Chains A and B, each alone.
Chain A
């Protein structure tokens, strides 16, 4: 079960805050991708994922986060059957952190997953909301 709440904040740039309450797994990851796709279509260029009440994140959750990041970079949304169509030729920014999507307050279990899978290298995490918003 996952509930997603969207809030729009304004720091140096407008930031859409997606709060995820519950569990991000194979059953719920597609909802996150769909909601983010809607936001992006409406013009959102930066997303902060509030994970303060996300009690579980499986590999599908990582796929969702990664997909949202790619969409923010201008890629086509992923095909729900798996994988996604790249519309860019190369990805020169691969070795740097993702600027467009950041994480707020991941709980220890989710933090562990981000750590283990190496995703922390690419996604900045914050434990302070204001600091997170200002960082965009």
Chain B
């Protein structure tokens, strides 16, 4: 597993915001990659095995739930920490997140401090 964070969201400004909130980690040498659709996200995860993945729920070419399902259920990559980030906060969606094995379900607008704290605790466990 790599000391790396993957951000997947089809909206460029959201990718930028998430990346910006993890700026401190980037300064500490953590690699941060961004992609714009679900399929590319899944390919990257298979290839690079990042410590943390932040997935937007609604993306083209495979939505966040399905990516998570593949990673957690089909590929059984338990060591990849998956956060599903979404504007959809209904109970139904949370349950779906649970079903597909997401480690954390975050709603927008996200709390930058909380995201950074989580990311730090996850990536910090991996030797760089």
Direct contact of A and B (CB under 8 A): no
